[in-house]
């Protein structure tokens, strides 16, 4: 079980001061429903070959806090590469931006390419901007990022680097705690990455929350949902936690849940027992209050 607070874990992710190179200057969780896994694509072209793609967060998926994004700095690389979390949230003035399982901001680099995917930050550059890497068969846990937008690209050193919409993603060595965005804008080439691979902030971003994507009537009915008491899929800060529901028909949420991850079409209801007003969603929702549920849906309908 992961620690309740993310901030103390930031120390595990902090990096020693490294001179900047040419690359830039500068309460316990409830059990969740079974998550859907997807494997497809080609690692050479930025696909998701041999990855386990899971919906939710590291905590809701009971990821080992001694590995992956929460591994100690001195852990072996294969331990660090066991899992990666990609969560859409707000960091500093960037909203939305993708962070990892320790809440650290992820970045994209202009000299890289997305189609085809190509990572160009190596050597001293990669010390300042550590690439987000994953082992073959490793878990990539997504909340607010489409599984279809997640992939990997093989780096020159043979390691697999995670991509978002084709763009390789990195950490910044001078970000010391969750919410830091010191790498954004460095050298005019480094920017926080949005859930769809764009540069966070103006002019591409609006600086405003993007609570949900348009519903897609062609999506199949969902069989499970993970609900979070915090917005932006937050199940770690304060008393926030996650709860999973799965099955068929109407189920009450029994709580105030302000965001959710779902694979498929799900009907949200404002009252218990699937009564009141309803809203159909077909994708992750970072803020259900924007959909007209001020304290979250009180029931959901599968099917």
Question: Are 174 and 258 found together in one domain?
Answer: no
Least trusted range by pLDDT, from 214-218, 282-286, 294-298: 214-218
Q: Does 110 reside within a domain?
A: yes
User: What sign results for the dihedral spanned by CA atoms 188, 191, 197, 201?
Assistant: negative
Question: Are 85 and 188 found together in one domain?
Answer: yes
Per the structure block, which two tokens stand in for 224? Answer: 């499970």
Q: How far is CA 263 from CA 134, 197, 217, 225, 299, in A?
A: 23, 20, 13, 7, 17
Question: Are 101 and 30 found together in one domain?
Answer: yes
Question: Are 114 and 233 found together in one domain?
Answer: no
Q: Does 218 reside within a domain?
A: no
Question: Are 167 and 298 found together in one domain?
Answer: no
| Domain containing residue 229: CATH number | 2.60.20.10
> Residue 249: in which H helix or E strand, if any?
strand 249-252
Q: Residue 294: how many CB atoms within 10 A of its CB?
A: 11
Question: Are 123 and 272 found together in one domain?
Answer: no
Question: Are 146 and 275 found together in one domain?
Answer: no
pLDDT recorded at residue 15: 35
Q: Does 72 reside within a domain?
A: yes
Question: Are 239 and 149 found together in one domain?
Answer: no
More confidently predicted of 25 and 140: 140
Among 141, 172, 192, residue at a domain's last position: 192
Mean pLDDT of 287-302: 98
Q: Does 12 reside within a domain?
A: yes
Question: Are 139 and 234 found together in one domain?
Answer: no
- The percentage of residues in the chain with a pLDDT greater than 90, rounded to a whole number, is 77
pLDDT recorded at residue 18: 36
State which residues form the domain around 288. 224-302
144: left (phi over 0), alpha (psi -120 to 50) or beta: left
**Confidence check: pLDDT of 142 > 70:** yes
Among 135, 168, 192, residue at a domain's last position: 192
Question: Are 72 and 150 found together in one domain?
Answer: yes
Residues 197-232 have pLDDT tens digits of 999 995 544 444 444 454 556 789 999 999 999 999
Q: Does 36 reside within a domain?
A: yes
The tally of domains found in the chain comes to: 2
More confidently predicted of 9 and 254: 254
Q: Which residues pair with 245 in a beta bridge?
A: 225
Question: Are 239 and 145 found together in one domain?
Answer: no
């Amino acid at each position: 079980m992961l620690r309740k607070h993310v901030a103390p874990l930031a120390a595990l992710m902090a990096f020693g001061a490294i001179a900047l190179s040419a690359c830039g200057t500068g309460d316990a969780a409830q059990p969740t429903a079974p998550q859907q896994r997807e494997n497809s694509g080609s690692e050479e072209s930025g696909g998701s070959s041999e990855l386990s793609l899971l919906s939710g967060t590291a905590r809701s998926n009971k990821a080992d806090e001694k590995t992956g994004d929460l591994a100690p700095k001195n852990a072996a690389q294969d331990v660090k590469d066991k899992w990666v979390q990609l969560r859409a949230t707000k960091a500093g003035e960037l909203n939305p931006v993708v962070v990892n399982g320790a809440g650290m901001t992820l970045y994209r680099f202009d000299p890289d390419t997305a189609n085809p995917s190509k990572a160009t930050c190596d050597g001293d550059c990669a010390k300042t901007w550590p690439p987000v890497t994953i082992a073959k068969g490793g878990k990539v846990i997504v909340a607010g990022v489409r599984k279809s937008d997640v992939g990997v690209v093989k780096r020159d050193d043979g390691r697999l680097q995670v991509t978002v919409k084709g763009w390789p993603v990195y950490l910044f060595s001078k970000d010391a705690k969750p919410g830091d965005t010191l790498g954004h804008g460095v050298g005019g080439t480094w920017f926080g990455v949005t859930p769809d691979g764009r540069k966070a902030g103006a002019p591409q971003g609006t600086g405003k929350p993007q609570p949900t994507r348009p519903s897609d009537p062609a999506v199949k009915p969902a069989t499970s949902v993970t609900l979070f008491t915090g917005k932006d899929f937050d199940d770690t800060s304060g008393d926030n936690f996650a709860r999973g529901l799965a099955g068929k028909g109407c189920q009450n949420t029994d709580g105030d849940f302000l965001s959710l991850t779902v694979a498929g079409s799900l009907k949200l209801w404002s009252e218990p027992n699937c009564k009141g007003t309803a809203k159909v969603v077909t994708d992750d929702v970072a803020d259900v209050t924007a959909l007209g549920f001020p304290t979250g849906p009180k029931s959901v309908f599968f099917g």
